[in-house]
């Protein structure tokens, strides 16, 4: 794997993690039906964890972790890890699109700054 391919894979891992976050949110919402979740009640936690959407999200995280290990074998951690900051871009955008959550101008501005920061850390990736 070249460093360019590793960088693209790192962005893909970030997307997978972001999608998994959306799946977790949707799965928790479906499992609790809007009720608050009492972490002290093991049965409530089990009900959430074993919801198909939450299980799928956890599998997606597992896949992302395996790919991340391959990425770390190729890229320096100081280069690869900042790419994970893109989750702060992808999650608000996906939650606005898929979960109909509001997104503010401040969030969009912050997302733009993160993209610029990742581009600076990784050289020519986005510029």
- 127 pLDDT band, cuts 50/70/90, is very low
124/4 Cα distance (integer angstroms): 10
Domain boundaries of the chain, sorted by first residue? 3-121
Positive or negative torsion for Cα 22, 85, 90, 109: positive
Question: In this predicted structure, what is the pLDDT of residue 37?
Answer: 62
17/29 Cα distance (integer angstroms): 18
Question: In this predicted model, what pLDDT tens digit does every residue of 38-97 receive, in sequence order?
Answer: 666 667 677 778 889 889 999 999 999 999 999 999 988 888 899 999 999 999 999 999
pTM above 0.75? yes
């Amino acid at each position: 794997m070249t460093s360019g391919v590793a960088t693209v894979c790192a962005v893909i891992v970030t997307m997978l993690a972001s999608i998994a976050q959306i799946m977790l949110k949707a799965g928790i919402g479906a499992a609790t039906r809007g009720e608050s979740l009492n972490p002290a009640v093991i049965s409530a936690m089990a009900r959430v964890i074993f919801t198909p959407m939450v299980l799928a999200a956890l599998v997606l995280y597992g896949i992302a972790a395996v790919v991340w290990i391959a990425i770390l074998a190729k890229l320096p951690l100081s280069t690869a890890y900042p790419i994970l900051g893109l989750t702060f871009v992808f999650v608000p955008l996906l939650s606005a699109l898929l979960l109909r959550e509001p997104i503010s101008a401040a969030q969009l501005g912050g997302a733009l700054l993160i993209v610029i920061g990742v581009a600076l850390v990784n050289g020519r990736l986005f510029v």
